A and B are shown apart, each in its own frame.
Chain A
Amino acid sequence: MNARTHMPEKYPSGAEVHSPAFIDGHSVAIPILKILKEDGSLYPSADLPELDQAKAEKVYRAFAFHRVLDERMIAAQRQGRISFYMTALGEEATTVGGAAALEPQDMIMAQYREQGCLIYRGFSLEDFMNQMFSNEKDLGKGRQMPIHYGSNELNYMTISSPLGTQIPQAAGYAYGQKLQGKDAVTLCMFGEGAASEGDFHAGLNMAAVHQAPVIFFCRNNGYAISTPSDEQYVGNGIASRGVGYGMKTIRIDGNDVLAVMKAMQLARSYALEHQAPVLIEAMSYRLGAHSTSDDPSGYRSKEEEAKWQAHDPIARFKTWLINQKWWDEARDKALYESLREEILAAVKVAEKIAKPPVEDLVTDVYDQVPKHLEKQLAELKEHINKYPEAYPFTAGRF
């Protein structure tokens, strides 16, 4: 055997002791960053993020858009106009604030509840609607359930339902950015539930060992469907794992958009400068149901929900904006009113757009449609011609 072994030159750091001393799982205390108080005032001497009036307004408009979109789409689902929807009620600061601290060339790889990032980046109302109505104008060609958005132009990776899969991918994506010397990082978002998946552990370790400029961002909102976080993990949250994997880690108040932006701005410059990963754990609360298929009254109390209503990140930020004299109630009312109208109108347009043509069934499975799929498509068309009334979306269109 080669004399040069791979034994590390020294053990990981720590004092030598001669009677056993176990380290308690909770002994690593992790501070939490808070900048904006519940009442909309600032903590004295808090470190503010870089934020001018124009950017603050952009963040607030994204908040308002998000609220109205969620409210309207829940209603649309109840009316049977779309099959499914997921809100991010109460968590908007994590995603809107997260995107606001990035540059457009930074990639975002999200889980599913992060439409706030897309809103901030300017995904159009039409694009949102076309995806949810899975019509022929949907960028994803009507193949996935509502809310599985994606946009190459906006550097927002298309959502995949299996949880946690984006986490090691984000490490790889960021490593690719590093090799190509790009002035960009990758933001990877996931829930505290998804942080239990094997992919989470694999992804963080890969990123740490190979020093990829990726920001892992855990939205810790207290629940994974019905499972409360104390049945998801023990130990000091998700942040302690970043420490375990040897990466820069911070915990923040996820309902405080200024804290989100501050931490993200620092994380971005650290990841870029050192070409290394960062973990952010944002503590928040999922105010709404998991999805429109879920009924949270089966697993949490009205009192608990009411308590968290008071932590609303949007109300908190609005008060601050008004205190800054950057915003006022009259503009607020007008903004919400116009958003409600626009979104309702967009629903009406999108639901009338045709479903994708039958050819879209076989495209994108491979780069080109292979022979066997061509044959299957031809047989299908022949069959549809025989029973046009049974396939109303596609019959008569080829």
Chain B
Amino acid sequence: MAQMNLLQAVNNALDIAMAEDDSTLCFGEDVGHFGGVFRATSGLQEKYGKARCFNTPLAEQGIVGFANGLAAQGSRPVAEIQFADYIFPAFDQIVNESAKFRYRSGNEFNVGRLTIRTPYGGGIAGGLYHSQSPEAYFAHTPGLKIVVPRNPYQAKGLLLASIRDDNPVIFFEPKRLYRASVGEVPEDDYQLPIGKAEVISQGSDITLLGWGAQMEVIEKAAELAANERISCELIDLRSILPWDVETVAQSVMKTGRLLISHEAPITGGFAGEVAATIQHECFLHLESPIARVCGVDTPYPLSLEKEHMADHLKIFEAIKRSVQY
């Protein structure tokens, strides 16, 4: 085991993937020699050459379109979008092309080998355009897989699984944790399952569900709740699409309560989908309405970031309301 931060874990996973398969490529804006603006790809060009790890022109639409072509041809592209806020110029290539390649051609062609990595999320004083969590836009699109790791260990195992998965995967990396989250990560190859939630800690009064950087915030809220003798069960969804209904439903049947928290605005956010499904699955087991603690329905502001965020205090208050309902 080695101590790695989240960036090093991503870098290590990319290194393993490029070493095992000559057709694996990493590219994107500033990804080559510089190693990406966050340095997630550092050292890869030196090791695998300019043909397999390179800078692209500044065109997200071009990056994903190019990656779709590569994947259709049989290569294994891992494309980087510098910030998730800038994935929207590539929206058409992802939503209309990556997601539908296999379906529309009757599997004559597919882009299953494609992985798109992108840093997402707020809490870094990034304002409107360096803070968004756009997972819900893509969750509305059949044909994609969406994965969000919460720490370095998860990042490596889930990224390797994403790269090897035979479906296009969008891998959202919590940039607030890139350097802040450090942990034990095996140097060897391992994979964590896509589509499977993880129960992080057991509890009896309420289930708290989240993903990515929000897990840290939820854990802090659970600690506050524990001081008030409220026992929380914590689940990291890990995959937004497909998502693990069974694990969440089982937990809610046990605790009788569910709170979902994400950074993105509440309206149309993925918490709504989870709430609707769990209400259907667990209706007779619920002791209180399913709670959602999410971002305010506004663009992500700079100076009022704290107010906008679904922080541990807002979650703590919602836990108490739910338990006292």
Q: Which of A's residues lie within 8 Å of B, judged by CB? A: 83-84, 134-135, 142-145, 148, 160-164, 193-194, 196-199, 224-227, 231-233, 293-294, 298-299, 355-356, 358, 360-362, 365, 372-373, 376, 380, 383-384, 386-387, 390-391, 393-394
CB distance from A168 to the nearest CB of B (A): 12
Query: Are A193 and B296 touching (Cβ within 8 A)?
Result: no
Residues of B in contact with A, size category = 35 or more
Q: Which of A143, A145, A196, A298 contacts B299 (CB under 8 A)?
A: A143
Most chain B CB atoms below 10 A, which of A135, A231, A355, A391: A231
| 28 residue pairs from A and B, CB less than 8 Å apart | A84-B125, A142-B304, A143-B128, A143-B302, A145-B125, A148-B127, A161-B85, A162-B89, A163-B58, A197-B58, A226-B30, A226-B34, A226-B37, A227-B32, A231-B32, A232-B58, A355-B303, A356-B303, A361-B304, A361-B308, A365-B298, A365-B299, A372-B267, A372-B297, A376-B296, A390-B311, A393-B303, A393-B306
Q: Which of B32, B126, B298 contacts A145 (CB under 8 A)?
A: B126
Most chain B CB atoms below 10 A, which of A361, A373, A387: A361
Measured CB to CB, the nearest residue on chain A to B126 is: A145
Q: Which of A83, A84, A162, A227 contacts B129 (CB under 8 A)?
A: A162
CB distance from B34 to the nearest CB of A (A): 4
Identify 6 new A-B residue pairs, CB closer than 8 A, beyond the known A142-B304, A193-B58, A231-B32: A143-B128, A196-B59, A197-B58, A373-B297, A386-B317, A390-B311
Query: Are A390 and B306 touching (Cβ within 8 A)?
Result: yes
Task: Collect the chain B residues with CB atoms within 8 Å of residue A365's CB.
Answer: 297-299
Measured CB to CB, the nearest residue on chain B to A192 is: B58
Complex CA distance for A390 and B313, rounded to whole angstroms = 9
Query: Are A142 and B125 touching (Cβ within 8 A)?
Result: no
CB distance from A288 to the nearest CB of B (A): 16
Task: Collect the chain A residues with CB atoms within 8 Å of residue B302's CB.
Answer: 134, 142-145
Query: Are A144 and B127 touching (Cβ within 8 A)?
Result: yes
Query: Are B307 and A225 touching (Cβ within 8 A)?
Result: no
Task: Collect the chain B residues with CB atoms within 8 Å of residue A391's CB.
Answer: 306-307
Assuming the contacts A144-B128, A232-B58, asked whether A197 and B303 have C-beta atoms less than 8 A apart, the reply is no
- Proximity string of chain B (47-67) to chain A, C-beta cutoff 8 Å, 1 when within and 0 when not: 000000011011111100000
Task: Collect the chain A residues with CB atoms within 8 Å of residue B306's CB.
Answer: 390-391, 393
Task: Collect the chain A residues with CB atoms within 8 Å of residue B127's CB.
Answer: 143-145, 148, 161
Query: Are B37 and A225 touching (Cβ within 8 A)?
Result: yes
Task: Collect the chain A residues with CB atoms within 8 Å of residue B176's CB.
Answer: none
Chain B, 211-233, CB within 8 A of any chain A CB: none
Assuming the contacts A144-B302, A373-B297, A390-B306, asked whether A162 and B88 have C-beta atoms less than 8 A apart, the reply is yes
Measured CB to CB, the nearest residue on chain B to A234 is: B57
Task: Collect the chain B residues with CB atoms within 8 Å of residue A225's CB.
Answer: 29-30, 34, 37
Assuming the contacts A162-B88, A231-B55, asked whether A384 and B307 have C-beta atoms less than 8 A apart, the reply is yes
Task: Collect the chain A residues with CB atoms within 8 Å of residue B128's CB.
Answer: 143-144, 161
Measured CB to CB, the nearest residue on chain A to B298 is: A365
- Proximity string of chain B (220-255) to chain A, C-beta cutoff 8 Å, 1 when within and 0 when not: 000000000000000000000000000000000000
Q: B301 within 8 Å of A by Cβ?
A: yes
CB distance from B233 to the nearest CB of A (A): 24
Query: Are A143 and B301 touching (Cβ within 8 A)?
Result: yes
Chain B, 20-56, CB within 8 A of any chain A CB: 29-30, 32-34, 37, 54-55
Assuming the contacts A227-B30, A361-B296, asked whether A383 and B314 have C-beta atoms less than 8 A apart, the reply is yes
Complex CA distance for A163 and B29, rounded to whole angstroms = 12
Query: Are A358 and B307 touching (Cβ within 8 A)?
Result: yes
Q: B86 within 8 Å of A by Cβ?
A: yes
CB distance from A192 to the nearest CB of B (A): 9
Query: Are B57 and A361 touching (Cβ within 8 A)?
Result: no
Assuming the contacts A83-B125, A231-B32, A387-B313, asked whether A380 and B296 have C-beta atoms less than 8 A apart, the reply is yes
Chain B, 283-325, CB within 8 A of any chain A CB: 296-299, 301-304, 306-308, 311, 313-314, 317
CB distance from B315 to the nearest CB of A (A): 11
Query: Are B130 and A161 touching (Cβ within 8 A)?
Result: yes
CB distance from A164 to the nearest CB of B (A): 8
Task: Collect the chain A residues with CB atoms within 8 Å of residue B297's CB.
Answer: 365, 372-373, 376
Q: Which of A143, A233, A362 contacts B57 (CB under 8 A)?
A: A233
Task: Collect the chain B residues with CB atoms within 8 Å of residue A386's CB.
Answer: 313, 317
Task: Collect the chain A residues with CB atoms within 8 Å of residue B308's CB.
Answer: 361
Q: Which of A194, A355, A372 contacts B58 (CB under 8 A)?
A: A194
CB distance from A293 to the nearest CB of B (A): 8
Task: Collect the chain A residues with CB atoms within 8 Å of residue B89's CB.
Answer: 162, 164, 197-199
Query: Are B129 and A198 touching (Cβ within 8 A)?
Result: no
Measured CB to CB, the nearest residue on chain B to A381 is: B307
CB distance from B301 to the nearest CB of A (A): 5
Assuming the contacts A162-B88, A299-B34, asked whether A373 and B304 have C-beta atoms less than 8 A apart, the reply is no
Q: Which of A161, A356, A383 contacts B313 (CB under 8 A)?
A: A383
Query: Are A227 and B317 touching (Cβ within 8 A)?
Result: no
Measured CB to CB, the nearest residue on chain A to B301 is: A143
CB distance from A224 to the nearest CB of B (A): 5
Q: Which of A164, A193, A393 contacts B304 (CB under 8 A)?
A: A393
Query: Are A198 and B62 touching (Cβ within 8 A)?
Result: yes
Measured CB to CB, the nearest residue on chain B to A195 is: B58
Most chain A CB atoms below 10 A, which of B60, B297, B304, B308: B304
Task: Collect the chain A residues with CB atoms within 8 Å of residue B33's CB.
Answer: 226, 299
* Ranked 3 nearest A-B pairs via Cβ: A161-B129, A142-B303, A226-B34
